[in-house]
């Protein structure tokens, strides 16, 4: 098909990136519940646990956009090893210190490392994926996160046991092990970024203002949906241990429940492409967010462990949709030369949610009960479903000749490729106008 965008480089880089992300995310997913258990062992109450969980996202708020600006005008790969080193250091030192303020500080360093890694990795996927590959590649990329979220809580649950002083020692051990797990990610960070795609990125005369990026149709919806979905995942990771303590659920069982949720998310992302073909982007986003909101609120009910496991499995499947589709939405809607900045703004929104949601959850849990934050998350996810219903799938304007996908979206090839293709068609010897019109016949969307 003559009008199809040229594919990016071979997909070995994506496999290595997924492996590295799985180790980095596994370390974070192992460390987050371990931080909560260690804080409880050091005498923290529900409100203090929420504050510590929020500090994880606080420091990245101030550096996300500058990192995105730097990535738009430079290479992405250097952010990956920097992120791994910061995550490892934050995990290790969170396990060594014995005061709550110090734990909060090193939790913030861990969050900064995660932000560096994710901005660099998402920018590489956006830069090295052709438009028709973006949904698939972002879906596969987020499988790395889900693998980490699957293995991390199981490992944390296996290592953390006991009460009082024993809980403090075992949670510290889990944090030190998570630092070593993250360091393994360095072994996969080779030949991730291809020089030719770096050199071919769009050139701009200056920085695109943040207001312009946020005013582009599709960007705000992608940011808000991502914020709601990630806040739900984050509160589940940080507060299910607290719920388990109040309901006398063992840490190992809590770890299995969190991993079951992650396994369902992996299953969702493996079948993302067929789901998009079957339902379309708007219906898939709306339905998944609505069901996730109802199920998240259902966690507040005093159900048995088997029922809770079924609820978390379905919830995990529904939560698997929002993150990869919101990445694609933001990348396609963002102005040329500002895609990394737009992704950074999306991550800033995520971190805002990670600061506000745990803090609000801590206040609500302290005042009403530990199950109440899940009702708050359910309301947020129902709101995200409303955003999807209002037309999240339509991302800005596209030039004439852009591809119309089955869901009513537009897919726009990079400007340089489109110009090159038109130029080649004009200059082809012996080609008549009818041939050029034939080349523009509709084709199936990727």
Q: Tell me, what's the pLDDT at 443?
A: 37
- Structure tokens, 423: 């130029």
pLDDT tier at 7 (50, 70, 90 boundaries)? very low
Three-state secondary-structure class, residue 192: coil
Residue 155 in domain = yes
pLDDT in tens, 198-215: 444 455 455 777 777 877
Q: Tell me, what's the pLDDT at 400?
A: 32
pLDDT tier at 437 (50, 70, 90 boundaries)? very low
pLDDT tier at 411 (50, 70, 90 boundaries)? very low
pLDDT beyond 50 at 277: yes
Give the residue numbers spanning the domain of 86: 12-192+214-389
Mean pLDDT of 365-376: 71
Mean pLDDT of 63-68: 80
Euclidean distance between CA atoms 110 and 129, whole angstroms: 29
Closest to 122 in 3D by CA, of 445, 320, 337, 342: 342
pLDDT beyond 90 at 361: no
Q: Tell me, what's the pLDDT at 413?
A: 39
Mean pLDDT of 345-360: 76
Domains contained in the chain, number: 1
Three-state secondary-structure class, residue 443: coil
Mean pLDDT of 132-158: 82
pLDDT tier at 390 (50, 70, 90 boundaries)? low
Average model confidence (pLDDT) across the chain: 76
Q: Taken in order 221, 222, 225, 227, is the CA torsion positive or negative?
A: negative
pLDDT tier at 140 (50, 70, 90 boundaries)? confident
Residue 407 in domain = no
Mean pLDDT of 354-379: 72
Phi first, then psi, for residue 410 (nearest 5°) are -120, 140
pLDDT tier at 89 (50, 70, 90 boundaries)? very high
Q: Tell me, what's the pLDDT at 185?
A: 92
- Structure tokens, 120: 């660099």
pLDDT beyond 70 at 373: yes
Poorest-confidence range of 59-73, 117-131, 166-180, 190-204?
190-204
Q: Tell me, what's the pLDDT at 366?
A: 66
Residue 203 in domain = no
- Percent of the chain whose predicted confidence (pLDDT) is above 90: 13
Q: Tell me, what's the pLDDT at 160?
A: 85
Mean pLDDT of 42-53: 81
pLDDT beyond 90 at 27: yes
Mean pLDDT of 136-150: 82
Q: Tell me, what's the pLDDT at 296?
A: 85
pLDDT beyond 50 at 142: yes
Determine the straight-line distance between the first and last CA of the chain, rounded to whole angstroms. Answer: 12
Residue 359 in domain = yes
Q: Tell me, what's the pLDDT at 22?
A: 92
Residue 441 in domain = no
pLDDT beyond 80 at 274: yes
CA distances from 151 to 94, 154, 156 (A): 20, 5, 9
pLDDT beyond 70 at 69: yes
Euclidean distance between CA atoms 67 and 89, whole angstroms: 20
Mean pLDDT of 149-153: 81
Euclidean distance between CA atoms 70 and 386, whole angstroms: 34
Name every residue whose Cβ is closer than 8 Å to that of residue 184 and which is 6 or more positions away in sequence.
23
Residue 431 in domain = no
Mean pLDDT of 257-275: 86
Name every residue whose Cβ is closer than 8 Å to that of residue 116 and which is 6 or more positions away in sequence.
67, 79, 80, 82, 83, 86
Mean pLDDT of 53-69: 78
Q: Tell me, what's the pLDDT at 442?
A: 37
CATH number at residue 355: 1.20.1250.20
Residue 61 in domain = yes
Residue 406 in domain = no
């Amino acid at each position: 098909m003559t009008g199809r965008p040229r594919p990016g480089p071979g997909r070995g880089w994506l496999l290595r990136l997924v492996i590295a992300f799985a180790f980095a995310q596994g370390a974070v997913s192992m460390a987050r519940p371990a931080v909560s258990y260690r804080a409880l062992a050091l005498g923290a109450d529900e409100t203090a646990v929420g504050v510590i969980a929020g500090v994880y996202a606080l420091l990245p708020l101030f550096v996300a956009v500058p990192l995105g600006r730097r990535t738009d005008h430079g290479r992405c790969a250097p952010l990956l090893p920097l992120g791994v080193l910061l995550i490892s250091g934050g995990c290790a030192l969170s396990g060594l210190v014995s005061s709550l303020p110090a734990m909060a500080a090193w939790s913030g360093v861990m969050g900064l490392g995660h932000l560096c890694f994710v901005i660099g990795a998402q920018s590489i996927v956006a830069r090295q994926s052709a438009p028709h590959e973006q949904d698939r590649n972002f879906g596969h990329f987020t499988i790395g996160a889900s693998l980490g979220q699957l293995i991390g809580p199981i490992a944390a649950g296996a290592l953390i046991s006991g009460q009082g002083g024993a809980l403090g020692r075992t949670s510290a051990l889990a944090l030190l092990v998570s630092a070593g797990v993250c360091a393994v990610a360095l072994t996969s960070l080779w030949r991730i970024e291809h020089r030719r795609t770096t050199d071919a990125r769009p050139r701009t005369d200056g920085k695109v203002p943040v207001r312009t990026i946020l005013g582009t149709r599709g960007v705000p919806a992608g940011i808000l949906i991502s914020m709601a979905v990630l806040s739900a995942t984050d509160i589940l990771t940080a507060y299910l241990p607290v719920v388990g303590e109040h309901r006398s659920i063992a840490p190992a069982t809590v770890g299995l429940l969190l991993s079951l949720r992650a396994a369902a998310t992996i299953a969702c992302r493996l079948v993302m492409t067929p789901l998009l073909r079957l339902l379309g982007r708007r219906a898939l986003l709306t339905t998944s967010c609505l069901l996730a909101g109802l199920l998240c609120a259902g966690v507040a009910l005093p159900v048995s462990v088997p029922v809770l496991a079924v609820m978390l499995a379905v919830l995990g499947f529904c939560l698997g949709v929002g993150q990869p589709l919101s990445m694609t939405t933001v990348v396609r809607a963002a102005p040329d030369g500002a895609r990394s900045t737009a992704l950074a703004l999306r991550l800033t929104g995520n971190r805002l949610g990670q600061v506000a949601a745990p803090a609000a959850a801590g206040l609500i849990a302290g005042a009403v009960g530990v199950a109440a934050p899940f009702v708050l998350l359910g309301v947020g996810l129902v709101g995200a479903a409303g955003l999807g219903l209002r037309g999240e799938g339509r991302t800005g304007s596209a030039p004439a000749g852009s591809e119309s996908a089955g869901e009513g979206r537009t897919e726009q090839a990079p400007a340089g490729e489109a110009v090159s293709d038109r130029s080649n068609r004009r200059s082809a010897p012996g080609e008549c106008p009818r041939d050029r019109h034939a080349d523009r016949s509709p084709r199936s969307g990727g």
